Each structure stands twice: as structure tokens, then as C-alpha cells.
Structure 1
Amino acid sequence: MSRKKLVRFKENEANPNVVQPGKAIFETIKGNWNEIQFQNDHPLVVELACGRGEFTVGLARNFPHQNFIGVDIKGSRIWKGSSIATAEGISNVGFLRTQIELLDASFAPDEISELWITFPDPFPRDGDEKRRLTSPRFLEMYKPLLKQEGIIHFKTDNTGLFDYTLELFQSREDIDLIGFTHDFYQSEWKDDHFGIQTRYEKMFSDKGEKIKYLKCRFV
């Protein structure tokens, strides 16, 4: 392991905006994010596979009356967003280092108000369907964690993953598809996101890839 990673891991251990195994808070945070981590009753917004946390921190800057949590298993990635939030004094953002498959171990039913799935690995092979973050397996985990009328946002550059997700969501009676677009930056939702981009979104957009987006909720 590189010295840089070791330094980052040590800073994550010290930074109170990072919740991870080995910290006492990791064992007690489920159902208590507002009380323990944020000390307020603002809505919780969670970004899955947040990477370096650009999107999580960007949302937190623009929506100070909501609490944002970026989830990723890579501590060296979330260190970046954690450090930026600390340097800027952004108190309504936190990071959770865990596998997304274990999300329900860190959040209680009805605890999450919005869920962002941003540029996940598409896992294009049919045999990998269950690993896609929009697959039925994951939807059944998200459903009880979201509050009634809670929103799911999904953004991707991958046409195959988007078409798979759109077809699946349209086929489910328990999902209300609020809207979708195959060209986000020409859509009515563009301005709602304040120009916030993940690293991958910027990279793909700069290459001319159209960004796909949908929003839905369970009913």
C-alpha cells in the first residue's frame, strides 16, 4: 500500500464526517444519522458509489437545509470529498465507507428522503445483472429505506444500462416513473442540478456522450 493511501486512511479515521468500520459511530448510526451525525432533523439524501464525492459535496453546497451522505467502499476516494467538505466548513455532508450491498445495515426503514445513483458500473454481461445498482435485488433493499414519496435519481452515460433500468422501472407496478430523458443537458431538469457533475460525468460529457437521467419513486 502506498504511503499516500496510508496518510489518507489515517485522516479518514480522524475526520468526523467519515463513518467507517472501526469507529464506534459505525455500529450505532443506523436510524440515528440526524441525531448523531448532523444534530438536526433535515432530510437525508444519499449518493451511492460516490467516488471522490464531487457530487455529494456539490449538492451539500447548494442545499444547506438537507443532509448529504456519500457512500463508497474505497476510503482513498471518499477522502477527497471529506477533505474538501472539511476545508470549506460544509457541515451538512458526510461519507459512509461500506459496501452498497450492506446499505441496510447503516440505514433504518424510512430514514432516506432521496437516493442518487450516479454513473455506476454498468456490468453489461447478462450474468452480472444482479450486480447492477438498479437491478431488482437492489431495488428491494432501497424500497424500505426510503421515506414514503422518497425520490430515486439515476444518471448514466451508458445507454445499455439506462435502457435496462427504464424498461425494468416501467414494468414494475410499485414504481412511479416521474420522468426521464436520454439527453439530460437538453432537458427540463438541467438547471435543477446547478451544473454539479461527477468526474465521470464531466469526462463523458466532454467526449460528446449524452447523459441519461430518470427520476422515480416507490408507490
Structure 2
Amino acid sequence: QYLRIDRWLVFGGSWGSTLALAYAQTHPSRVSELVLRGIFTLRKSELDWFYEGGAQAVFPDAWEGFLAPVPVEERNMLIQAYSRLLNNPDPAIHGPAAVAWSVWEAPTITLLPTPNVVSTFSDPRYALAFARIENHYFVNRGFFDDGQLIRDAHLIADIPGVIIQGRYDICTPAVTAWDLHRVWPEAQFVMVPDAGHAFDEPGILSALIDATDRFAEI
């Protein structure tokens, strides 16, 4: 409204796909197209996969670092345990917890190791902001009903869209993108066979550019 834009293409990946879906379902008349990548809807099953034991089967070495700050007796509810640690006023407690939370995600977002990503996620200031924001929303399940963004996909049925998903995405596994595709069949579904989660994986980046170029011509 401030910019006097009546309708616009909404583009989002990962957490951005969450926000894009929530916005489009709330204001469908304002969205001309949707371009989504690495679909994440904050369902309990999605959070459990990545933060309660699931992804650890693929990255057991990184998982040990994620567990390290958490007392053994609290490891049955890790998101809640991290909430306590990250909000502890003592930097000696919240600092290492933030880095452990952030660094756990870093190696999982690309198909092949990317040292510069791990380095960025290891920065204490970055990690504290990143971990506290993520954990706050995850503890509260994004303030959505469980499954809400999939359930309400009928609200965006008339919006042209593209769903782009890396086959080997560990952070946001392909099942969520597929679940969205099943209830929103009008959208184009692109499974990139040789990619993980990150937007700049070659196949994903190409698909994103193709989608935005196509919509730019409409």
C-alpha cells in the first residue's frame, strides 16, 4: 500500500517460502505470481526431522556438535531446551548454544561441502541473532496451526506459481514440497535432481531464473 503496488510477484525460499505462502493465503488478491523454493511450512513433522532427530542420520558428525550444549536429560525436546539456553542472560551459556544451533544447519544446506557457509554461520554475532530468531518461531510453530499452510493451499489455487525443490534437501526435505504440490496442482513443480537446499545450487538457481524470466514476460 505504501508503494502503491496493487499486485506483485512474491518470491521466497526456505523460511521465505513460509512467509510467501502465509502472505499469499492471507492476501491472494495482492499476489500476481508465486516463486517458491525449498518449501518449509513449520509442521511438527518438519521441525522434528531437522531438530529432534532425523537429519542426524545423514549428518551424525554435525549432530554431535548440536547436542553438545544440551544437558543429557533435556535431549528429548531439543527445540525447547535450546530456547532456555539461548534466552539465558549469561553469554557463557547463550553464546556457545547459538553457535552450535547455527553451525548445525550450515553443512546441511548444500549438496557438497561449502566451507565459507560454515564460516559465516560460525560467527558469534551472526549465530546469536540467527539462532534466537529461528528458535523463537520454531518453539511457537510459526504461530500457525499444524499443517495450516498446506491445508489452506486452496486459497492460492488461482495464483500462477512455481515450486522448486532440491531432491537432496536435508533442511526442508522434498516431502513438504510434494505435499504442497498435491494440494496446489495448478503450480508448476520442479524437482532439481542434483541439488540440496541452497538457492545458489546450480540447478536451483537456473530454475529460479527461468521462473522469474517467464513471469516477467507476462
Settle same-fold status: TM greater than 0.5: no
TM-score by length of 1: 0.32
TM-score by length of 2: 0.32
Larger RCO: 1 or 2 (CA < 8 Å, sep 6+): 2
Q: Which protein is richer in strand relative to its size? A: 1
> Based on CA coordinates, which of the two structures has the bigger radius of gyration?
2
